[in-house]
Structure 1
């Protein structure tokens, strides 16, 4: 193979690796969004809202 062909192969492999990493990050992001939604919809989060508002006014 020529140097150009080697570089093309290397770049294609890098693109594939980055695509896989992106899929993993997107899945992790969705998981964290769910955790965040669960927290914000929890009873304890709703009950402590006045305390958070007061503490932010200082």
Structure 2
């Protein structure tokens, strides 16, 4: 199994030989790599995190 939790989604970054599971962690990883959508200040970063957690709890669960 690609995901040790046995669930989708899974992102396999073959260039970095790294696998990321769970949508919130994948969103964080992609935004970190791209330098976009993560906020430019601690306050913006917390706002992004707030919406990711809201999505994971209310919309995707």
TM-score if structure 2 supplies the norm length? 0.32
Query: Hey, which of these two has a bigger chunk of strand by percent?
Result: 2
Indicate the structure whose relative CO is greater, using CA pairs within 8 Å and at least 6 residues apart.
2
The structure number with the bigger radius of gyration is: 1
Query: Hey, which of these two has a bigger chunk of helix by percent?
Result: 1
TM-score if structure 1 supplies the norm length? 0.34
